[in-house]
Amino acid sequence: MNPGLPGAGIGGLFYILSALWMPICELWRRRQGNAPGRWPLVARQFGIAVGIIVAMSGVFWALDTVLMLQQVAAHAAGQMHAMWILRASALAVTSGVLATVLGTVHVVRLCLRLSTVRHAAR
């Protein structure tokens, strides 16, 4: 079973960032002296994350090229607008939404903890 829609939306970005964070996390764990050597896993997942970033950069480059051709050939305002929506939603909005979702999780968690502490105090 696989919850969510793999590849779509903020999930992809979340796992890319988590994979990019793994080497730093692994270094920290080694410094603490409590981590078994998991560098092969770290290297593999870090490589996948970098590969995805490169692949998506390629997509944006291709879109830019197509966009330029469109400008020259068609002057289609609607299509220009559509391309802008695609690009914006793919990066800026996704990052903002991910930050908002993760931030909300922490806010809810803190609210619950405060509520528990208050109940315990009574």
Partner 1 sequence: MENLVTRRHPSHVNPPRESSVTAADLVMGLTVIIPAYNEAEFVGDTIRSLLAQTVPPDQIILVDDGSTDGTGNVGRRAGITVIRPPHNTGSKAGAQTFALPWVRTKLVMAIDADTTLEPTAVERLTHSFEDPGVGAACGFVLPRRIKTLWERGRFVEYLFAFTFYKQVQEYYRRPMISSGCFSMYRTDLMRRHGGWPGRTLAEDMDLTWTFHQTGVGVRFEPEAVCYPIEPYNFRFMRRQLRRWSHGFIQNITLHWRGVLTVPFLRSAVAVALWDAIVASLVFLIVLPLLIVALRSPWLLLAYFIDAPAILVPLVIGAIPRREFGRTLASLPSFFVLRLVNGFYFLEAVWSEWFLRRSSLTYEKGH
**Which residues lie near partner 1 (CB under 8 A)?**
1-12, 14-15, 18-19, 22, 25, 38, 41-42, 44-45, 47-48, 51-52, 55-56, 58-59, 63, 78-79, 81-83, 85-86, 89-90, 97-98, 101-102, 104-105, 108-109, 112
Nearer residue to partner 1 within complex by CB, 92 or 109: 109
- Distance, in Å, from the CA atom of 36 to the CA atom of 115, rounded to the nearest integer, reads 38
- Smallest separation, CB 72 to partner 1 (Å): 16
What does each C-alpha distance from 72 to 65, 66, 79, 87 come to in angstroms?
11, 10, 13, 19
- Least separation, in Å, of the C-beta of 13 and partner 1? 8
By C-beta, is 33 or 40 nearer to partner 1? 40
What CA–CA distances, in Å, run from 56 to 40, 49, 63, 92, 96?
A: 24, 11, 10, 14, 18
Closer residue to partner 1 (CB): 25 or 92: 25
Total residue length of the chain: 122
Q: Which is nearer to partner 1, 30 or 98 (CB)?
A: 98
Query: What's the Cα-to-Cα distance from 68 to each of 17, 54, 58, 76, 104, rounded to whole Å?
Result: 31, 21, 15, 11, 39
